[in-house]
C-alpha cells in the first residue's frame, strides 16, 4: 500500500497516517508512517475473498486526542477479477475521498494485488451465492491458501487450475452475525422479531433464515449476536455534521467514544480522584508538616531532640491539621513558636555583629569590628553550621520580591500572542510554545481564546491553570502519583510508551518555568524530591520517606538488622515497568557483591539514589533543558525546598479567608453598605470553600491565591478584587481579567444568588453575559 495525500499548511509536521482495511466484518491496521504526505506500507494482507468488498480508511494518528479520518476508498475484488481474467496481479490506484463529502478528493491510494488465482467455475458459483442469498453459516466462505488458490470452507474440496485438490475443514467457532442488507439487494427481507426486555433504539432485532436472533445497530452499521444493554443515563445523538456522539446526563459531558461498562467505570474512578483533589492538595501543602510531625513524635526522647527538652511548664501538642503548637500551662496560653528557639532570637547580637545566611539557608555571623565571619553564635557560643535550621526564620516575602526583581531584569519588551482553543488546549499550546524562541517566552503573554472577549492581556492565569491540569494529568502517562494515598506528582518511568515523550517533557519544563517567571499558578504540585531537583539540591535518604514510606522504612530496617538477620543481599535491585522486570547493578559487578555490615551504608545510599531517579534520567534531563531555556535554575538557589516555598509560588494558597477577601475588595458605583454588596457577602459566607474557589476562578481565572492573599492579587500589574455596578437586573454577572466582577443591581437576594450560581456553573471564560 502507498498513498499520496494533499498537504495541509495548518499542520507543520505533516500527518502520521496509517490504513485500516475492513473486509467481511474483519479489519486490519498497518503501522503508522510519521510526519509524511507520501506514506508507504509494506505489510502483506491476505484476508480477502473473491466476492469481497474492501474498505480502506486512511487515518492520521494523534497523540493526545482521537485519530482523524483523512479519507476512505473502496475496492470490489469481484470487479477487479473480472477485469483481469480472474487474476489479481495488478496495481490498483483509488481516489481517497472525504467521509463528509465524496466529491472532496484528498489524495490517491495505490494497492498492489498479487498472488490470487480463482477457478472460473467456483468463482461463478460464489458470485451467484453472494448475489442471491444472505450470509449464513451455510454459505461458502473463501480463503487464500498458501499456493494462492481460493477455496471454499463448506468442507468440499475445490480444484485448482493445476489440478491439485485442497480442502479446508469447517471451523468450530461460531460464525459472525449476518450483515444487514438493503431490501433491493436480497429477494427476501428478514422478518422483524418481536421486541422483548425493553426498547432497543437505535438497535433493531432481527432473525436470520436459520432462526437465529441477531441485532443491528443502524448508527454504527454493525451487527452482533448479543443483546445490547443501554448504559443508564447515556444517550446517543447526532451533531449538525452527521457525526454521532454520546451524552452522559449525570456528569453533563459528551464523548465521541461509544461508552462501555469498563470505560464508564474507569472514568468514574478518575472523576472520584479529581473530586478528592482538594483534600489531596491540602495534604500536599502540609505533607512536610506531617513528616515533621512524625519526626517530632519519634524524637520526643530528649536524647534525640536536637533542641533539648522544653522549658519548665511548656508542652508540645499537635492540632487536627497536623500543625505543631506549644502550650504554656502557668499562663494557660498557646503559641506556634517553639519557646526554645524564641529564647535564642530574643537576645540581641553584640554591637558590630550581623547574622547572614548561606545559599543553603545556614546562618553565619559577621563581626564588622574585626572583619571576620564565623558559624559560632556570639550569644550562645554554639556553632550553627550543623545546627537545626528551624532556629532561623527567613523572610519569604523578601525572597519572593528579590526573585521578582531578577525576573524583571530578564524580561523582554513587547508581548507575544498565544491563540488556543479550549477543546485542543494541550496540542495548541505545545505547538506554539515550542515554536517560540525561549527568550520570547519571557515577554508579556497575551492569551487568546477564539470567540471570547479579551479585555486586557487575555486569560493568562486561566491558561496556566487549565493547561497545567491537562499536561500534568496522569492519564497521559507523563506523570504519576507518588503513591496510592499521595497525590503529589512525579515523572512516570513508563512515559517512553509515547515515542515523543521527551519533546513533551521539554515543553513542560518551559511551561513550569514560564509559570514561575510570570508569577502564575498551576493546578497541582510535585513531590518534594522533584522540587529539590528544580532547586538543584542534592537528594538524601530522608527525601524517600515523602514518596515511598514503606521503601524508606525497609532501608532503615536493613540498616539496623542486617547483621543479626543474616540477609542474603547483593548490590543489585529489580525494577518492573509495564510488567517487564529487569535487574540493575548499583555498582559494577554488583550482582556478585554481598551487602555486609561494613558496606551497608554505601548500599543504602545507592539504593536510595536509584529509587529517586529510576528510569527517569532522560525525562528529567529533557525537563530541565526546557526549564533552563526560560529560567536558569541559579535564580532559584536561595529558596529552600524543605519549607515548600517553591510549591507555594507554583500552586498558591488554597484556604480562602473571607475577612481578607472583604478587606481587600474595592467597589465602583456601589457602596460598602449597598444591599447588593451585603447580599453578595452573605452569599459568599454561605458557600463552602470549594464554591468560593470556583467563584474566585470565575472572576480571576484561577482558584489560587498569591502568598500575600487577596492583597497581592495581580492582573496587568497589582489589581485588587473589584465589584462594579453594571447592567440591568435581568443580566448575568460578567467577569473580566482585571479581577473585576460586573454585578447588576438585583432586586432580591434570591435573584442575586440564582444569577451568580448560574454564571459560575454554566459559563466559562471572560466577557460572558
Q: For residues 683 and 291, which has the higher predicted lDDT (pLDDT)?
A: 683
Residue 368 included in any domain = yes
> What's the pLDDT at 629?
92
Residue 169 included in any domain = no
- Find the CATH number of the domain harbouring 665: 3.30.2410.10
Q: For residues 330 and 704, which has the higher predicted lDDT (pLDDT)?
A: 330
Decide: residue 427, CB within 10 A, 0-12 exposed, 13-18 middle, 19+ buried.
middle
> What's the pLDDT at 402?
74
> What's the pLDDT at 307?
61
The pTM of this model reads: 0.42
Residue 98 has pLDDT above 60, yes or no: yes
Condensed to tens digits (0 to 9), the pLDDT of residues 572-583 reads 887 777 677 777
User: Is residue 540 classed as helix, strand or coil in its secondary structure?
Assistant: coil
Residue 516 included in any domain = yes
Distances (CA, A) of 275 to 240, 270, 271, 422: 33, 9, 6, 21
User: Is residue 150 classed as helix, strand or coil in its secondary structure?
Assistant: strand
- C-alpha 167, offset from chain centre: 54
Same domain membership, residue 635 and residue 492:
yes
- C-alpha 155, offset from chain centre: 54
Instruction: Decide the pairing of beta strands 721-724 and 740-742.
Output: parallel
Tally Cβ neighbours within 10 Å of residue 742.
20
- Given a contact cutoff of 8 angstroms between Cβ atoms, the answer to whether 110 and 1 are in contact is yes
Residue 389 has pLDDT above 50, yes or no: no
Q: How confident is the model at residue 127 (pLDDT cuts 50, 70, 90)?
A: low
Instruction: Decide the pairing of beta strands 234-238 and 244-248.
Output: antiparallel
Task: Annotate 398-461 with three-state secondary structure.
Answer: HHHHHHHHHHHHHCCCCEEEEECCCCCHHHHHHHHHHHCCHHHHHCEEEEECCCCCCCCCECHH
Condensed to tens digits (0 to 9), the pLDDT of residues 172-215 reads 344 455 544 444 433 333 444 444 444 455 677 888 877 788 88
Q: Is 660 left (phi over 0), alpha (psi -120 to 50) or beta?
A: alpha
Same domain membership, residue 754 and residue 679:
yes
Distances (CA, A) of 279 to 382, 404, 449, 724: 42, 30, 31, 33
Place of cell 548499583: 586
- Find the CATH number of the domain harbouring 290: 2.20.70.10
Q: What are phi and psi of 119, to 5 degrees?
A: -70, 130
Lowest mean pLDDT among 303-312, 491-500, 589-598, 617-626: 303-312
Last residue of a domain, one of 393, 421, 450: 393
Same domain membership, residue 428 and residue 351:
no
Q: How confident is the model at residue 36 (pLDDT cuts 50, 70, 90)?
A: confident
Per-residue DSSP letters for 215-272?
EEETTTTEEESSPP-PPTTEEEEE-TTS-EEEEETTTTEEESSPP-HHHHHHHHHHHH
Average pLDDT rounded to a whole number, residues 705-711: 73
* 740's grid cell: 473585576
Residue 240 has pLDDT above 70, yes or no: yes
Residue 510 has pLDDT above 90, yes or no: yes
Distance of alpha carbon 524 from alpha carbon 467, whole angstroms: 11
Decide: residue 248, CB within 10 A, 0-12 exposed, 13-18 middle, 19+ buried.
middle
Q: How confident is the model at residue 12 (pLDDT cuts 50, 70, 90)?
A: low
Distance of alpha carbon 507 from alpha carbon 434, whole angstroms: 7
Average pLDDT rounded to a whole number, residues 481-486: 69
Q: For residues 538 and 396, which has the higher predicted lDDT (pLDDT)?
A: 538
Same domain membership, residue 149 and residue 90:
yes
Q: How confident is the model at residue 354 (pLDDT cuts 50, 70, 90)?
A: confident
Which stretch, 91-100, 388-397, 711-720, has highest mean pLDDT?
Answer: 91-100
First to last CA, the chain: 53
Residue 175 included in any domain = no
Distance of alpha carbon 95 from alpha carbon 13, whole angstroms: 24
- Find the CATH number of the domain harbouring 570: 3.90.1750.10
Residue 121 included in any domain = yes
Q: Identify the CA nearest to 407 among candidates 419, 396, 399.
A: 399
Residue 345 has pLDDT above 70, yes or no: no
Q: Is the dihedral of CA 245, 248, 252, 253 positive or negative?
A: negative
Q: How confident is the model at residue 143 (pLDDT cuts 50, 70, 90)?
A: very low
Same domain membership, residue 598 and residue 567:
yes
Residue 457 has pLDDT above 70, yes or no: no
Q: How confident is the model at residue 473 (pLDDT cuts 50, 70, 90)?
A: confident
> What's the pLDDT at 300?
42
- Given a contact cutoff of 8 angstroms between Cβ atoms, the answer to whether 21 and 27 are in contact is yes
> What's the pLDDT at 123?
66
Same domain membership, residue 415 and residue 372:
no
Same domain membership, residue 581 and residue 596:
yes
Residue 768 included in any domain = no
Query: What percent of the chain is modeled with pLDDT above 90?
Result: 11
Domain that holds residue 359: 347-393
- Given a contact cutoff of 8 angstroms between Cβ atoms, the answer to whether 88 and 115 are in contact is yes
Distance of alpha carbon 723 from alpha carbon 727, whole angstroms: 13
Q: What are phi and psi of 187, to 5 degrees?
A: -70, -25
> What's the pLDDT at 116?
66
- Given a contact cutoff of 8 angstroms between Cβ atoms, the answer to whether 166 and 149 are in contact is yes
Q: What are phi and psi of 521, to 5 degrees?
A: -105, 155
Same domain membership, residue 156 and residue 112:
yes
Place of cell 445490547: 228
Residue 270 has pLDDT above 60, yes or no: yes
> What's the pLDDT at 44?
78
Residue 526 included in any domain = yes
User: CA angle at residue 162 from 157 to 163, to 5 degrees?
Assistant: 45
**CA gyration radius, the chain:** 35
Q: How confident is the model at residue 474 (pLDDT cuts 50, 70, 90)?
A: confident
Per-residue DSSP letters for 33-84?
--S-SS-B---------TT-EEEEEEEE--SSSPPEEEEEEEEEHHHHHHHT
- Given a contact cutoff of 8 angstroms between Cβ atoms, the answer to whether 19 and 42 are in contact is no
Last residue of a domain, one of 590, 620, 650: 650
Same domain membership, residue 415 and residue 537:
yes
- Find the CATH number of the domain harbouring 138: 2.60.40.150
Domain tally, the chain: 6
Average pLDDT rounded to a whole number, residues 154-178: 41
Residue 335 has pLDDT above 90, yes or no: no
Last residue of a domain, one of 367, 393, 419: 393
Lowest mean pLDDT among 173-182, 541-550, 635-644: 173-182
Q: How confident is the model at residue 677 (pLDDT cuts 50, 70, 90)?
A: very high
Distance of alpha carbon 577 from alpha carbon 468, whole angstroms: 26
Q: What are phi and psi of 523, to 5 degrees?
A: -75, -35
Residue 479 has pLDDT above 70, yes or no: yes
Query: What percent of the chain is modeled with pLDDT above 70?
Result: 68
Same domain membership, residue 14 and residue 55:
yes
Q: How confident is the model at residue 339 (pLDDT cuts 50, 70, 90)?
A: confident
- Given a contact cutoff of 8 angstroms between Cβ atoms, the answer to whether 519 and 714 are in contact is yes
DSSP 541: G
Distance of alpha carbon 197 from alpha carbon 642, whole angstroms: 62
- What dihedral do alpha carbons 654, 655, 656, 659 form, nearest 10°? -150
* 381's grid cell: 557560643
- C-alpha 104, offset from chain centre: 36
Distance of alpha carbon 550 from alpha carbon 571, whole angstroms: 20
> What's the pLDDT at 648?
55
Q: Give the DSSP H or E segment for 558.
A: helix 549-565
Q: List all residues 6 or more positions away from 80 whose beta carbon is below 8 Å from its beta carbon.
A: 88, 90, 92, 113
Which stretch, 290-304, 503-517, 546-560, has highest mean pLDDT?
Answer: 503-517
Residue 757 included in any domain = yes
Same domain membership, residue 322 and residue 194:
no
- Given a contact cutoff of 8 angstroms between Cβ atoms, the answer to whether 26 and 45 are in contact is no
Same domain membership, residue 379 and residue 310:
no
Average pLDDT, the chain: 73
> What's the pLDDT at 341?
62
- Given a contact cutoff of 8 angstroms between Cβ atoms, the answer to whether 730 and 721 are in contact is no
Amino acid at each position: 500500500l502507498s498513498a499520496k495525500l494533499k498537504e495541509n499548511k495548518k499542520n507543520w509536521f505533516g500527518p502520521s497516517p496509517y490504513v485500516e482495511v475492513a473486509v467481511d466484518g474483519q479489519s486490519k491496521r498497518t503501522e503508522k508512517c510519521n510526519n509524511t504526505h507520501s506514506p508507504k506500507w509494506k505489510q502483506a494482507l491476505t484476508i480477502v475473498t473473491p466476492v469481497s468488498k474492501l474498505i480502506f480508511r486512511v487515518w492520521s494518528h494523534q497523540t493526545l486526542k482521537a485519530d482523524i479520518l483523512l479519507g476512505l476508498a473502496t475496492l470490489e475484488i469481484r470487479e477487479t477479477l473480472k477485469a483481469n481474467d480472474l487474476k489479481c496481479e495488478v496495481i490498483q490506484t483509488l481516489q481517497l475521498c472525504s467521509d463528509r463529502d465524496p466529491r472532496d478528493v484528498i489524495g490517491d491510494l495505490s494497492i498492489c494485488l498479487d498472488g490470487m488465482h480463482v477457478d472460473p467455475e467456483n468463482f461463478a458459483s460464489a458470485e451467484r451465492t453472494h448475489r442471491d442469498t444472505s450470509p449464513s453459516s451455510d454459505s461458502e466462505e473463501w480463503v487464500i491458501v498458501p499456493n494462492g488458490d481460493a477455496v471454499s470452507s463448506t468442507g468440499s474440496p475445490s480444484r485448482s487450475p493445476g489440478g491439485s485438490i485442497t480442502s479446508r475443514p469447517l471451523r468450530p467457532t461460531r460464525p459472525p452475525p449476518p450483515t444487514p442488507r438493503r431490501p433491493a439487494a436480497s429477494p427476501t427481507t428478514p422478518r422483524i422479531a418481536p421486541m422483548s426486555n425493553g426498547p432497543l433504539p437505535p438497535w433493531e432485532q432481527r432473525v436470520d433464515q436459520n432462526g437465529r436472533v441477531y441485532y443491528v445497530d443502524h448508527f454504527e452499521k454493525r451487527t452482533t449476536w448479543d443483546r445490547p444493554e443501554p448504559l443508564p443515563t447515556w444517550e446517543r445523538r447526532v451533531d449538525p455534521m452527521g457525526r454521532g456522539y454520546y451524552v452522559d446526563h449525570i456528569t453533563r459531558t459528551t464523548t465521541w467514544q461509544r461508552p462501555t461498562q469498563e470505560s464508564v467505570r474507569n472514568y468514574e474512578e478518575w472523576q472520584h480522584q479529581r473530586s478528592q483533589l482538594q483534600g489531596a492538595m491540602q495534604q500536599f501543602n502540609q505533607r512536610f508538616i506531617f513528616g515533621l510531625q512524625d519526626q517530632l513524635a519519634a524524637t520526643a526522647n530528649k536524647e534525640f531532640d536536637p533542641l533539648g527538652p522544653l522549658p519548665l511548664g511548656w508542652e508540645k501538642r499537635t492540632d487536627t491539621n497536623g500543625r505543631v503548637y506549644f502550650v504554656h500551662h502557668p499562663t494557660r496560653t498557646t503559641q506556634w513558636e517553639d519557646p526554645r528557639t524564641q529564647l535564642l532570637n530574643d537576645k540581641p547580637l553584640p554591637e558590630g555583629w550581623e547574622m547572614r545566611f548561606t545559599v543553603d539557608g545556614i546562618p553565619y555571623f559577621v563581626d564588622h569590628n574585626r572583619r571576620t565571619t564565623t558559624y559560632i553564635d556570639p550569644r550562645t557560643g554554639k556553632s550553627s553550621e550543623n545546627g537545626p535550621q528551624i532556629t532561623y526564620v527567613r523572610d519569604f516575602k523578601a525572597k519572593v520580591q528579590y526573585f521578582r526583581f531578577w525576573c524583571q531584569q530578564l524580561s523582554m519588551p513587547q508581548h507575544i500572542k498565544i491563540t488556543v482553543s479550549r477543546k485542543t488546549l494541550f496540542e495548541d499550546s505545545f505547538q506554539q510554545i515550542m515554536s517560540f524562541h525561549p527568550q520570547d517566552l519571557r515577554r508579556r503573554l497575551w492569551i487568546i481564546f477564539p470567540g471570547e472577549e479579551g479585555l486586557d492581556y487575555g486569560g493568562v492565569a486561566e491558561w496556566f491553570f487549565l493547561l497545567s491540569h491537562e499536561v500534568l494529568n496522569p492519564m497521559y502517562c507523563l506523570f504519576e502519583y507518588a503513591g496510592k494515598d499521595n497525590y503529589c506528582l512525579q515523572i512516570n518511568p513508563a512515559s517512553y510508551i509515547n515515542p515523543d515523550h521527551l519533546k513533551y517533557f521539554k515543553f513542560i519544563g518551559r511551561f513550569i518555568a514560564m509559570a514561575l517567571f510570570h508569577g502564575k499558578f498551576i493546578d497541582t504540585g510535585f513531590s518534594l524530591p522533584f522540587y529539590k531537583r528544580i532547586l538543584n539540591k542534592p537528594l538524601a535518604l530522608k527525601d524517600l520517606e515523602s514518596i515511598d514510606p514503606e521503601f524508606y522504612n525497609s532501608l532503615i530496617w536493613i540498616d539496623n538488622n542486617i547483621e543479626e538477620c543474616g540477609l542474603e543481599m547483593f548490590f543489585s535491585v529489580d525494577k518492573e515497568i509495564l510488567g517487564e522486570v529487569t535487574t540493575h547493578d548499583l555498582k559494577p559487578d554488583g550482582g556478585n557483591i554481598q551487602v555486609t555490615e561494613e558496606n551497608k551504608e554505601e548500599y543504602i545510599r545507592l539504593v536510595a539514589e536509584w529509587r529517586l531517579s529510576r528510569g527517569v534520567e532522560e525525562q528529567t534531563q529533557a525537563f530541565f533543558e526546557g526549564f533552563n531555556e526560560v529560567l536558569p535554575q541559579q535564580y532559584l538557589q536561595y529558596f529552600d525546598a524543605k519549607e515548600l516555598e517553591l510549591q507555594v509560588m507554583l500552586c498558591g494558597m488554597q484556604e480562602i479567608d473571607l475577612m481578607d477577601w472583604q478587606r481587600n475588595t474595592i467597589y465602583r458605583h456601589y457602596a460598602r453598605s449597598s444591599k447588593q454588596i451585603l447580599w453578595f457577602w452573605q452569599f459568599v459566607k454561605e458557600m463552602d470553600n470549594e464554591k468560593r474557589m470556583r467563584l474566585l476562578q470565575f472572576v480571576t481565572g484561577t482558584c489560587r491565591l498569591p502568598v500575600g492573599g487577596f492583597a497581592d492579587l495581580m492582573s496587568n500589574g497589582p489589581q485588587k478584587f473589584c465589584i462594579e455596578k453594571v447592567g440591568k437586573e435581568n443580566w448575568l454577572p460578567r467577569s473580566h481579567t482585571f479581577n473585576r466582577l460586573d454585578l447588576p443591581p438585583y432586586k432580591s437576594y434570591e435573584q442575586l444568588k440564582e444569577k451568580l450560581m448560574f454564571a459560575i456553573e454554566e459559563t466559562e471564560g471572560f466577557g460572558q453575559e
